[in-house]
């Protein structure tokens, strides 16, 4: 079975998963406080870490396991809107994007694909989330597909009931404004089995596994 | 920094980590109940699983991450004692041992190494745990060394203060007899920072990270 998975979705105590206005200076729209609790170094496992092995890191490091492709919204890829400017932009991540797989970026504006030496490639698709998911599943070659965000892309796939696994991390901060994660999703919990643990750092990890017994 | 790590050490409520008499029929000496809570499929990650992604699995799957060699006691390798019989024994795991790295087996009885196609190799060494650790670190090529057990081998390395990370899983069963894990280790907790979480399955995971600030 191939899954569609969401990982490391950091959500504030008041339900925001990103800030309002993404700019070059503020990649997640002023909600940088969300990222303070996240140690990006662990997303490919606990290899070569000098620091303690914690429950947070074990859970964050699920991100890359068994994933063969990602889908992301345009706002996760960059701050531009409308036609792509000829500015050489290749995403926030420089020459070594951490994805190591094909990544499908949802946009209404076509653009040539970009490939990197480390196995990452960016493909720009004018498609519905459902169509993008079909493309990503094909590219993943039998592995799982990760929905990389931002929160509105995740929300669209949740609304369409296309997400099999969702890892939400509730962080004890109050943002007051931003992109809400739970809008249009009333009753979502009824489609999932949910496990949660709270860790020494003050985070609460929720693991939502879609309840297949209840599917048609 | 290279670590020495112990993973997935299942311990009963009364402090036993294995049964008393290892036989061919009872690989952990009648303490098989300990293994009921353990899903061996996750030790190389959550790849291709049909089942829910749980906190237990995320933590069990740290087992292989960043590990380049293992040390195990003879009793983990097989039920024989004394001179090795000429019985073709290659461990409990058949032709696909899950280790995928060199494994150093502590024994007073020399024997030729065994190599498998999947990267696993077994090397039989008449050495102290300290000497074996040096061999394993050399073989691990900059990655971490896992102490694979059984419990008395783990205990010896803990006594010698050679363990940097210890993942203990307390299972809610009472064995009544077996190999104790905590003997000769009074005050052990003072050398570690300890985090724990309890999961939906009833397990309690303890992550012991050696407190380097307190080292000389």
Mark yes or no for CB contact B47/A143 under 8 Å: yes
Q: Give the domain ranges of chain A.
A: 4-81+92-214
Q: Does A46 touch chain B (CB under 8 A)?
A: yes
Shortest distance between the Cα of B6 and any Cα of chain A, in A, equals: 12
If one counts every other C-beta atom within 10 angstroms of the C-beta of residue A66, the result is: 20
- Sequential pLDDT tens for chain B (216 residues): 789 999 999 999 999 988 777 777 777 777 777 777 676 666 676 665 567 889 998 999 899 889 999 999 998 899 888 999 988 999 989 999 999 999 999 999 989 999 999 999 999 999 998 999 999 999 999 999 999 988 989 999 999 999 999 999 999 888 888 888 898 999 999 999 999 999 988 999 999 999 876 554
- Supply the pTM of this predicted model: 0.89
Flag if B193 and A65 touch (Cβ within 8 Å): no
The nearest alpha carbon in chain A to B193 belongs to A52
Q: What is the ipTM of this complex?
A: 0.85
B1, B50, B58 ranked by CB distance to A58: nearest: B58
CB of B50 within 8 Å of any CB in chain A?
yes
Q: For A53, which of B1, B54, B165 is closest by C-beta distance?
A: B165
- Angle, vertex CA B153, rays to CA B147 and CA B157, nearest 5: 70
Q: Does B45 touch chain A (CB under 8 A)?
A: yes
Q: Is residue B117 classed as helix, strand or coil in its secondary structure?
A: coil
Question: Which fold does the domain B4-68+144-214 belong to in CATH?
Answer: Dihydrofolate Reductase, subunit A (3.40.430)
Sort strands B121-125 and B102-106 into parallel, antiparallel or unpaired.
parallel
Contact yes or no for B48 and A65 at CB 8 A: no
* The CATH number of the domain covering residues in A4-81+92-214: 3.40.430.10
* Per-position b or e across A106-145, b if 16+ CB within 10 A of its CB: bbeeeeeebebeeebbbbbbebebeebbebbbebbeebbb
DSSP secondary structure of A81-133:
-SSPPSS----TTTTS-TT-SEEEEE-SS----EE-TTS-EEEEE---HHHHH
Asked if A197 and B199 come within 8 Å (Cβ–Cβ), the reply is yes
d(CA A122, CA B207): 38
The verdict on a CB contact (< 8 Å) between A45 and B65 is yes
């Amino acid at each position: 079975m191939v899954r569609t998975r969401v990982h490391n979705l950091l959500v504030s105590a008041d339900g925001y998963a990103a800030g309002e206005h993404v700019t070059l200076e503020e990649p997640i729209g002023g909600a940088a406080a969300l990222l303070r609790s996240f140690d990006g170094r662990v997303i490919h496992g606990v290899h070569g870490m000098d620091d303690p092995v914690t429950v947070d890191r074990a859970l964050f490091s699920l991100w890359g396991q068994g994933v063969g492709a990602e889908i992301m919204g345009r706002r996760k890829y960059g701050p531009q809107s409308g036609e792509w400017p000829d500015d050489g932009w290749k995403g926030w991540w420089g020459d070594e994007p951490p994805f190591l797989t094909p990544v499908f970026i949802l946009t209404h504006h076509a653009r040539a694909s970009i490939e990197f030496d480390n196995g990452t490639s960016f493909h720009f698709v004018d498609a519905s989330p459902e169509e993008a998911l079909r493309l990503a599943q094909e590219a993943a070659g039998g592995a799982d597909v990760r929905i990389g965000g931002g929160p509105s892309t995740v929300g669209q796939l949740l609304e369409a009931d296309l997400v099999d696994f969702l890892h939400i991390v509730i962080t004890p901060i109050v943002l007051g404004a931003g992109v809400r994660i739970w809008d249009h999703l009333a009753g979502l919990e009824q489609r999932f089995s949910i496990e949660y643990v709270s860790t020494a750092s003050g985070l609460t990890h929720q693991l939502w596994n879609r309840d297949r017994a209840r599917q048609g």
